[in-house]
Structure formats: structure tokens, C-alpha cells
Chains A and B, each alone.
Chain A
Amino acid sequence: MIKRNDFQRPTPNAQRPKRREQKLFILTFLGPALALYALFVLLPAVNACRYSLLRWDGLGTATWAGLHNFGRLLRSGSDYLPAIQHNLFLTFVPGVFILTLALFFAYSIHQGVRGARLFRITFFFPNIISSVATALLWIFLYSTSGVGLLNNLLKRLFHVSQPIAFTETHNLLWAMVPMIVWAATGFYMVLFLAAMENIPETYYEAARLDGASSSHLFRYVTLPLIWDVLATGVVFLVIGGLKMFDGVWIMENGRPSPETHTLSTLMYSRVFEEYNVGHGTAIAVLQFVLVLLASLISMRLMRRERLEY
């Protein structure tokens, strides 16, 4: 709620300099942020749309290409459509696990299991580590040479003789699922836990008096009342999945193949390795459109009656 400013009333002369001073104040306070934002975010964003309509290698002169770049992208056989599939895969498959686990953990902690504090503190930690460090850690876990932890455990405990090539190109995306779940679940757990702790105790008491079991409580009390936060979480997940770069880049040693490219890595590759700026920016523009669409769709799907309490 904006409080109407006193200075909006007709100003007597004595207050004129104050008005100018206020204008200056607004300018100096708003100016730098606005300037930085306009110069380094808005301007490039507009230029991105312009570049995507050009045929340009970044080295020489650019020529007009119209929608040629977009056409090349959406053609069958291009790398682009598989890349979107990879992004969607990396959004939904880990997403399902993340949401389920996060809800489960949050609810358990909320219900006061023993050691709740320990769980809450440790589960969030993987979120703090950089995605580069996480990717490296999991490369070691998955390694097929003598170093790999998982393959060694499989050999010792389950007598699996052949090491599994987890990070081989065909398996890479699947291998990333546990990694993403491991890294992200803690954050969503904290999010949902916060929402759950906001629910007044009275709802639970009333339901319990009616004889509701634990799982009933969850389905009919907790879940509806945290729905908004859950929806926010889903939107975060979707947007994050569409932007995935670091994990794939590191695990593929900076050279993803068409079977593992995501939108971001494909964009980087097109521009900085193949010197095809028009193409790369077209990918970025389409990615932006996708992010927008995905956010809107997610929000719509998750929409429900606002529950006020």
C-alpha cells in the first residue's frame, strides 16, 4: 500500500525547493540501479532479439537472416529439439523425486521425528555447494576407473564384476538425476517446512479429534494449506531445469555431445566454439520464451482457491 505523499498537495512556495530536492533525491536513489539494469540487462536482452535475426559469425559483417535461424533450429534433425527434450527430462524426472522427498522429509520433521534438527541441518547442506563442486563430486562417485566409489561398492558388496559406465554419453542424463535430487532436495524441504510451520495447530487438532490418521492429516490439512508454496517450488524447479548448464558442462568435460546438450550448453557451443552467433542467440531467445511459457503454465496448473486463514 502506497501512502499518499504529503507533498502531492498543491505546494506553497516555501515547499518548492523541498520539491526539487525530493526530485533530486529520487533521481540519485533510483538512478544508479535503473541505469545499471537498463544498460546491462535490458539493452542486451533487446540486442539478443536483434542478433537472432542475423546471420553472423561474430568475426565479420552480419547479414539479415530473418527467421532463418529459427527455422534451422526447429527443423527435424537439428540438435535443438533433442536439447529441449534433455531439459525437460532433467526438469521432470528429478523434479518428481525432489518434490516427493522434500514433502516427505519436511512433514516428518514437522511431525517431530527424533533427530529432526540433525536432519534439517544436514539435508540442506548440498544446496550450498557450488554446482561445479557437486558435479565433480559425483564424477568421482561414478567413475569406472579404480577411483570410483559407487562401482567399488558394487563390486565389494554386491559382487558386480563389470563396472557400470554411469557417465557414458548415453547414461549421462540418467546419472544426473540422483545428483540433481541430492543437490536440490534440501532447499525445497526447508521451503515446505517453513510453510508447514505456518499452519496453525488448531487445524490439526480439529482433524485429529475427527479421527484422522497421519496420512489423512497430510492429504487434507497440510497439503492444501501449503499449496501456494508448493506451486512456487514447482515454478522454481521448472525454470531451473530449463537453465541447466553447469552439471552437464562439467560432466561432459566442456564438450557435450548432441545426446547430452541442454539449451544453455548448446547456445554456448554454437557461439563460442562454432562462431555462429545468430544461431546461438536464437536458441537463447527461444529459451526465454520457453521459460516464460513454462512459468505461466505451471502457475496456471497449480492454481487453486486461495485459502485464507
Chain B
Amino acid sequence: MRRAPFGIGSGLCYLFLAAYLVAVVFPMVWIVYSSGKSTQEFFSNPIGLPHVLTTPSGAGGRTLTGNYEKAWVGSHFSRYFFNSVKVVGISLALILLLGSMAAYVLARFEFFGRKLISILFLCGLVIPMQLILIPLFFQYADMSDLLNRLFAPVTLFGGHLVFSLHDSHAGLILIYVAASLPFTVFVLTAFFRTLPGELREAAMIDGASEYRTFFSVMMPLSKPGLVTVAIFNFLGLWNEYLFGLVFINSDQLKTLPLGLAGISMQAQYKSDYGLLFAALVISILPSLLVYLVLQERITKGITLGALKG
């Protein structure tokens, strides 16, 4: 294929690689098959295979389905999963849209204040989320109060509008988008700069408006950049925990990481390890599937991002 095989010590190298492979794969496998055990089984047989596999019988199977049903339905994992999809999906859409729009303008147009605004976005790269967390908490409370006061005289369908940026998906999405913009704008600006200007001129001569040019010509061309940005942002947002912890309180609105953390507390109180393992599997499985399917794309995206940045 490519090169001559490894030099001296290749045996040792294989050993390392194989050992790490086991270290990565085995815990996953253990979690998966352990999710079929009942709490008693955990204590009597922690490492081995669960009853459902070794002695296929009614009881083992029922434990397995019982655990998963408790997790998916009883502990609301279906809800957490769809919440994550909703929040991250909408955030990504907005990030890509608003980010590329801003980056395009910053990259290819001259106007008053362009340099200042670029630097402003760059500053965002060094601002950690933790700095924003606390002031934003109070800011959301104040903004909600303001909106409520503004809309107090408005009556709609016999009731009032009550605003709350806290404990709402909208509030979470807003900060996810805002905080992801610096990085996105940074990467996409660099990207848009590499696109040839003749395309735009050609489109303009054909009578297309600036908007049309952007959406029909420039965006499709910047797909690799968009994919990179989407992947990085997805990885960051799907697993985001701290902001969700602070801003989301109701169980119905929790995202997957919050739900998992919450359930780990409950299952510990109920001493129900089977449930907890099943929940863990449910949390990991979508990521695993997405990864296996898109794994080439993902690694390419990181590659691209790293080398360009």
C-alpha cells in the first residue's frame, strides 16, 4: 500500500495499539451488554455476560426490555433526545445562516467599520463561556422582566403573554448561536476570501441581486467550509452541559446531557443500575451511529479546519 512496514519494535507498537483499542472498545461493549442486567445481577456478576445472553429465557429478556423501557419512556429519554435534536438543530441552522451571511460581508465588502467589527468578532474567540454565564443569567432575568412589562397591557385570547428567556429553548438557542458566531465567522471569513471575485461579478452582470448571488452562488461553493463549521459546532453543542444546567430547569425541556446527569442521580437513589446503564447506552448510541455513518466527513472536516486555521 504505502510504505514499508514499521521498523524495529513493531511488535511493541502493535501491542500498544491493540491495548489502546481494547481500552477504548471494551468499556463500551461492557456498558452495552450490562444494560441487560438487573440490579441483583450487577452484584452477583458484574463483569460477565447478562442472563439474557447466557441463558436466553423470559426473565433475562424481560429485564433487558424493562431497563430500556424504564429509560426511554419512564425516565423520559425520548423527550431529552428530541429536545437535543431540536435545540442543536435550530442553533446549527441559525449559526450557519447568520454566520455565513456575516462572514461573506466581512470578507468581500469594504465599508466603514469593517475592520473594527472583524476585530470585535475575533475577540470572541478568547472569551470563554464561563465569563458570560453569570451576567447573562441576570441579563435574561432583566430582559424577561422588561418584555413582560412592555407587553403587560396586551391581552390576547383572554390572557397575557408571559416572557421567560430562562427555562426555555429559545433562551438556550440564543446564547448557543451568539457564542458560536465568533469561531464560525472567523473560519468562514477566511473561506470566503478564497473564493474568486469573478463569479460575483458575472452573477451581478446577469442581473442577480446581491442576495441572490449569495444564496445561489457563494453558499454552495463554500460547502466544505460550512461542513467544517457545522461539525465543530455540532460537537460542541450536542454535548454542552454547563449552560443547560443553569438555564434549563424543567424536565420537559432538558437536553440529553442534562437528562443523563439528572437520571444518574435518580437511579442512584433508586439503586437501579440497569436503568442507568440503559440510559447511558441510549445517550451514546445516536452519537455512535452518526459517527459511523459520517466518520469520513467528520475527520475530513477537522482536518480542513485544523490546517486552514
Contacts and interface: CB of A to CB of B under 8 A. Distances in A.
A binds B: yes
B101 to A, nearest CB: 4
B127 A111 contact: no
A268 B165 CA distance: 20
Contact of A48 (B46, B131, B257, B298): B131
A286 to B, nearest CB: 10
A20 interface: no
Given A26-B105, A287-B130, A33 B98 contact: yes
B152 interface: no
A88 B288 CA distance: 31
B128 interface: yes
B20 to A, nearest CB: 7
A4 B111 CA distance: 11
Contacts of A268: 133, 242, 246
Interface in B108-160: 108-111, 117, 120-121, 123-124, 126-139
B73 interface: no
A161 interface: no
Interface in A107-143: 108, 111-115, 118-133, 136-137, 139-141
Question: What bracket does the count of chain A residues touching chain B fall in?
Answer: 35 or more
Nearest to B39: A147
A160 to B, nearest CB: 14
Contact of A194 (B117, B138, B214, B303): B303
Given A36-B181, A104-B16, A287-B131, A3 B24 contact: no
Given A30-B105, A34-B117, A140-B31, A125 B242 contact: no
A292 B23 CA distance: 35
B127 A41 contact: yes
B261 A21 contact: no
Which of A119, A120, A147, A271 is most buried by chain B, counting CB atoms within 10 A of its CB?
A147
A36 B265 contact: no
A203 interface: no
A300 interface: no
A309 interface: no
B246 to A, nearest CB: 7
Which of B174, B175, B261, B295 is most buried by chain A, counting CB atoms within 10 A of its CB?
B261
A16 B302 CA distance: 44
B82 to A, nearest CB: 16
Interface string A150-185: 001100100000000000000000000000001000
B interface, over-half SS: helix
Contacts, number: 279
A interface, over-half SS: helix
B17 interface: yes
Given A37-B124, A149-B47, A191-B302, A281 B242 contact: no
A38 B110 CA distance: 21
Contact of B291 (A23, A128, A195, A232): A128
Contacts of A229: 306-307
Contacts of B174: 36, 40
B246 A272 contact: yes
B238 A42 contact: no
B106 interface: yes
A270 B45 CA distance: 42
Given A30-B101, A191-B302, A246-B241, A45 B197 contact: no
Interface in B1-24: 1-3, 5-8, 10, 13-14, 16-17, 20-21, 23-24
Nearest to A118: B21
Contact of A146 (B28, B46, B134, B181): B46
B239 A284 contact: no
Given A125-B24, A156-B47, A291-B128, A40 B98 contact: no
A152 to B, nearest CB: 5
A260 interface: no
9 contacts: A3-B197, A22-B210, A50-B135, A121-B295, A123-B24, A129-B287, A130-B241, A133-B260, A194-B306
Given A136-B280, A194-B306, A243-B129, 12 more contacts: A22-B109, A25-B211, A33-B99, A36-B178, A113-B5, A125-B28, A128-B290, A133-B283, A148-B46, A191-B306, A232-B306, A267-B134
Q: Which 9 A-B pairs have the closest CB atoms?
A: A130-B239, A194-B303, A214-B7, A47-B135, A33-B102, A40-B178, A44-B135, A146-B43, A29-B101
